[in-house]
Every structure is written in C-alpha cells, then in structure tokens.
Structure 1
Amino acid sequence: MKVEQAYLGTLLKENHLIKDSLLKEFHFEENRHKQLFKHMKDLTTAGQSVDVVTLSVQVDIQAIGGVSYLNEIITYANAEKVDEYGQLVLNAWKEREKRNILEIARNENWEIGKVIKSLDDINEVKTDDHTSIKDALARIYEAPWQKQEVQKGIPTGIKRLDSLTNGFQDGEVTIIAARPSMGKTDTMLHFGKQAGWQGYLPIVFSLEMPEAQLTTRLMASTGSYNRAKMRNPYKHLSPNQKDTWAGAIGHLSNTNIQIFDNAGQTIAEMRAKTRKLIHEHSKKPIIIIDYLTLIRPQEFYGGNAHLQVTEISKDLKAMAKELNCPVVCLAQLSRAVEQRQDKRPMMSDIRESGSVEQDADVIMFLYRDSYYNADSDDDTLEMIIAKNRNGPIGTVLTRYNKHTGEIQDVYG
C-alpha cells in the first residue's frame, strides 16, 4: 500500500518522528511493513539511529524488501504529511476490522446490539494508552514550585454546588436520583442550559419524554411561563409574556442543546451519536441521560435487572472516560423511601444500587419537603451530595418553581 510506504519512508528519513508514532505494528496490512515498523521502533528504543545501514546490520533486511526497497520507500517521504499518512493507515486498518466483524457477525448471526458495540469499539481504539511511572512522575516533578490552575468543570449555575463538586468534570459520571415528580427533569434541563450558555455542547438523551415536551419545559423555565399556559400559548399567555417570547427563544437557542428522544437506546448508540456531534460542533460535550433503567443493555441476562444495571453503569463510566466528558444520568428511587419518617433519600434507595454506588463519581439526591406536604408553600429544593469521589459531600439549597420549572440559586 502506497500510504504505508509513505508513512514508513517518512519515519526512515526523519528518525525523530518514530518516537511520536502512536501506531502499532498490527495496524499495517503488509507483513514486511509490520516487521519494518517493529524493527524501527526497537532500534529507536535502544537509542540507535534508524537507516538502511543499521537495519542491514541488525535485522534480516531481505525479509523486509532489501536495500533497494528501503531506498524506494524513502522517496515517498514527506514529514509535513506524516500525521495524515498515519491517520490513513489507521483508517485502513479500521475498515479491514469492520469487514472482518461484519463477516463474523453474518456467519454467527450476531444480534444487532453486539454488532454495534463491536464496531464502536474499533472507533474507540487507543493507539497508545501506556504510561510508565517515570513519565508520570516527570510530569508532576515541579508541581510544588508551580502555581497550579484549578481544574474547573462545566458549571452548574449554582455556586455552592460548584464549590462542592467543582462543576461537572471530564470523565466523571454524576447520578441524579429522586422520586417521581420531585424535579429531576427540570434539574437536568437547568444543568443543560447552564452548560450551553457557557459554551459547552449539551447532548440530551431523553428515553422517556419526547422532544416536544422537553422543548416546552425548556421554554417555560427560560421565559418564566407557567407550564399550564404552555398548552396553548396563543390563548393563555398575557400580552407582556408574548412580548418576551422571541427573546426567550433566542436565549434558549444559544444553549445549542441537542436532543435525541428515541426510546431504548444503548450506550454504544449514544457514544456514536455524541462523536458525530463533537465532529460537527467542535465543542466539549456534556451527556445528559433521562434515565438509567431505560437505557437498553447489550445483553438481556435472562431479565436479571441487577446484571443489566451493572452493565449499564460500567458502560456509562467507560463512555465518560473514552469521550473525556461529563456524563449526567437521572435515576429513579425505590418506594422504600416512602416508608421512612425522614424521606430524604439514601444510597440504598437507588434501584439496583450496588453497581451505581461503585461506578458513579458523584451521586446527588433531590428532595422537596413540599412534595410530601401539599399545604406547604416552601419552594426549597435540596440537592443532597451523598457521594463525591473527589470532593466533599453536603446539601445545597435551591429554589424550585414547580409551575415554570425554574431553579434558582439560594446563595447567588
């Protein structure tokens, strides 16, 4: 293959590029190219120069084409295009792997979920995920004498919550759990809007509520419109509210929220859709999922809910790490919370909680006292941080307008 020749010829001519190569020998199609690349890597690791002479002395040069072949591929060298050549080699390998998987899937009659996951894994191949302890320590050697920037995550729009969690962090999974009608969806949309207004890309996978209902909720909370009036804005909105409609639409549009509302999506499907949007928008995403037990697992496990949630929980964490972005997922609580005098949730109230407790980086419960007291006019929504892998736990108070869905910072 010409592109393999061009890539290897470039490395042979410009030895300093060999150390920067993230390819592995199996990425090459021709056997002689696999061998040549391995020998070049080995010589570089040993601190030796790589050229026709050193290769002739150290290896069986005839097995990789002989001196004339090495001189030939050097003519294709172009250091300015080495990254492009490397990507083309990797893309060609992915295509070969894809064909192999599809052939095996056809012969063995794989279910569609397994096919999608296998193809998705090819796209997520890391060419080099190895770090030696020496390299890791070298990176932090000067840390005590250098002022460090605080790693701020995607802001929540609630100051005290940001002080506890430092925002939504890349590679972390946040679970937001509550009983039905406690305000989970409005909380989710609040976080999505705040992220969008700060220049991030909120990607919402709504597995239960259709897009039209989410859009209505978003408009109600953005424009401070009573949701009951949103059923017929023409009839029920006041003239003053109609005057603010266009402004609310413009403000909400600036969030650039992306909504997928197909039911029963798998993590693999979400990853693929997210990667496509990242490519289209070139923005850091935050993935928001409503909700955990509506995600379709790859395996059925004979209907065992615990095993299904365990798979989903681990895949959520893997997706956050692989895409290097925050993942926020809503979860339902069991009815056990209703049996206690203090109805504030606990970890054990999360349905199939074991794996979720283990894999989540942050677990947040929502609680409104007025939910259990219909006569109360208390608009307090408690955000209870019950687990925070990299920070403190605690309770954050917010104000929640159940008529519009707005959430406001008590401390702001």
Structure 2
Amino acid sequence: MTATISERLADPASAREAGRQKVDWAREHMPILESLREEFRAEEPFAGERIGMAMHVEAKTAVLAETLADGGAEVAITGCNPLSTHDDVSAALDAHENVTSYAERGVDDEAYYAAMEAVIGHEPTITVDDGMDLIAAIHEDHPELIDTIVGGCEETTTGVHRLRAMDDDGALRYPVFAVNDTPMKRLFDNVHGTGESSLASIAMTTNLSYAGKTVVVGGYGDCGRGVAKKASGQNARVVVTEVDARRALEAHMEGYEVMPMHEAAKEGDVFITTTGNRDIITKADFEVMGDGVLLANAGHFDVEIDLDALDDLAADRYEPRDGVEAYVMPDGRELNVLAEGRLVNLATPVALGHPVEVMDQSFGVQAVCVRELVESGDEYAAGVHDVPDELDREVAEVKLDAEGVAFDDLSDEQREYMESWQHGT
C-alpha cells in the first residue's frame, strides 16, 4: 500500500510547519478562494463527497484542496508531475483532518503511478485533474468506479486536448468541465501566469538576463503569447515558431519575428516551448544551435524537447547548476536543458509556479465547478463541457469586489437593444 507523504518524510513535523507557512501566505493573497471557503464552511456542500485530485502540489493548490475539504469533502491528492511537488506543502496538506496527500517530489514513474492508484483507492466521486492522468487511469484500470463519479474538472490545455480526443472517440464516460478554456482561467493563467512564472523560473535557475538575448517561443497560443509578451518586456528579441497560419500571422502583426523552428534554432539563445505537443525541438535543431543555449519547456509533458535525440548526440553530460543539465556536443558546444525538460515554471529547484493572484482566479473556477457538479451534476451528460458563463462571471465579480473595483452594468434599455434584432441604423 502506498504511504502518505507524512509517512515517508524523515521529519514530517518540521516539513508541516514550513509548508503551513507557505500555504498561509498564499491564502492571504487569494480572496476568491477565501470568500468561497467561508461559504463552503457555512453550508458544507461537499459533505459525503470524495474528491480525488492530481495537481501540482504547491501552496496555491493546497489552498484549493483545503477549501474543498473545509466544505465537507474527503480529499485525496497526488502530484501531476514528478518534479512539481513541494514536499513541505504536501506534508502540511496531509495534516488536514479531511485531506490525504500522496504527493512527493522526485519520484520515478512507478511511484508516480502508484500514488495515482492510491488516490483512486479512495473511490472518488469527483475528480480534479491537471493533465488528465487521473481520469485516464480511472477509465483504463477502474471502470467499475465510473457509475459513482458525478463528474470532473480539468485544469490545463493539454488535459483538455486529451479529453476532447477521448470524447470524440466516445470513450469519456462522465462529464468533465474544461476549466482551462473558460475566460477567467485562459485569459489570465495562461497568458500572465505562464508568461511571468516561466521567465522568472528560468532567470532564477540560471541567474542570467533576457536583455539583448534572442528568445525563441515555440507556439503562439495563450501561453506562448504570454511568454513572448513578458520576454519582450524584458528587452529580449522574440522569435515565434508556429504551425497554424492564423497564429503565425497574429504573432507577426504583434511585432514578433516568425520563422520555422529549424531557422530559429540557428539564432536563439533561450528556447521556450509552449505547445502541449511533442517534438517541437528535435535533432536537426540541436545540430545547428549555438553554444550555451538554454532549453526549457512551458507546455506540459516532457515530450516537447526531444531529449532522447539530444542524449544520442551528446558526447558527455554534466550539471553546471542545480536544475540545469549540460549536454556536451562532440564539437564542444553545450546545450543546457532546464528541469529535465519538464514544466520549467514548476519543476526547477527554485520554481514557485504561477503568481498567487493568478491561481486564485483559476482555482476559484475549479471550486465553483465542483460545487456545480455536486448541485447539478445530473444535468450534464458524459463528455467535455464548457464552464457555465455565470460561474465564470461569479468568480470575476468576487475578485473585483475584493480589489475594490467597481464596474458598469447594462441599463434595461441597453439590454433590450442588445437582445433585439429589430433595431437598425
């Protein structure tokens, strides 16, 4: 049987204390979740529910997990990436009377999936996922649980892509909200969160500046747009690579240079992939890169940079800094991979993930979606569902109220005008 994080740590008490300090700091800056926690504590909408979570287990995620637990749920959680867990935060979570945490940093594949199985062993009635690994494991290995699962929520672009493919194949057997696609998540988390946290993590890990460097951004979706914008703001020359003509044109009209990756490979100093797809940077690109380049992935799984091909090319490997692995080419060039090619904003030794305020919005959407599943889950058929617009707006209004920001409302006349097809010029 898989042990909890508290059972595996040498000094769980010290870890819990350190982790609690991080969680409390995050909570102070997450007014949306704090507001929802007060509501959930008073009403206990999740009483009797078992929530299984596979997420990046760090301070902001802990606030979400405890918010759901304080609403009466039994929560079991593990990591969705072997290098993104903060063990002290995981230990602090495990100390909550309604939370069991199996998340541990640096585990191998066997232990990673064993922890996933341990969460499933709690027989969740609701799932909260980041990347869809939990949902996939339930469908593939535990289909007998599906009839008792009300529904789920998916946090990230890659997970939603996988779920839509699963849905198209008729294989998804319970309803899942595509939290990633709703405006309060996508417009802030993906653009500002990924942009700021990826660049910050790279800078802290390497102690290098972006000014005067050429930053190559693989992909110009919401995450790529954020990385490009933030890098440009730090005085970098930004080059974008894309496979979609419209996004390539958008990047061009935003003022960035656009070219194929193999051409960009010859010019870049820092490479950041943001696609959620595989083989964005490949052998042919490694062969023409300059000495000392930095290679980082801000997509999802560690498949965007072809590390097998890079390893085959390398004559030697060593670690010049914690979190950086240098691949030495036969001609002496060194290509530096950050965080083993995993999510750079979460998997480097100094990574903290997205800013707290940004994740408050995303996790606020997660929390109200879980509430919606408990209250109205029977109304949703199996498949991928957009987050109801009124829930997304609710989260925005809570945030604005917390910030002391007032905004206009439509008058009756304006609403009538917008809803009518008869008003002309």
TM-score (norm 1): 0.29
Structure (1 or 2) with the larger CA radius of gyration: 1
